[in-house]
Amino acid sequence: MEYTFYDDPDTAAIICCHITENKSPILYVSHDEDDGMWQFLCGKEHEIDEARLVSLQWVFDLDNSISTLKDMPCGCYAERITKNDDWVIRKR
């Protein structure tokens, strides 16, 4: 699938170690209002040392289903219960 985000593919993104190391699915995505940073998490509670810095392209290549979130504005987050569910977007 072709990269669809408006942000540059090399844009830094935060992802949790449960996804990168344990292959947990992405179930929570945040597009932070203060700095525009994207965060991709497994839906569990996290400590700071569990965060990894990767490119937005790396996350996209890992899970193309995030492409539906490309228009999600800063200050919003998206959740889903399982990898096969649709994303539900909410404003903070």
Reported as a single tens digit per residue, the pLDDT across 54-77 is 999 999 999 999 999 999 999 999
Paired strand residues for 30: 39, 77
pLDDT value at position 38?
Answer: 98
d(CA 25, CA 19): 6
pTM for the whole thing? Answer: 0.94
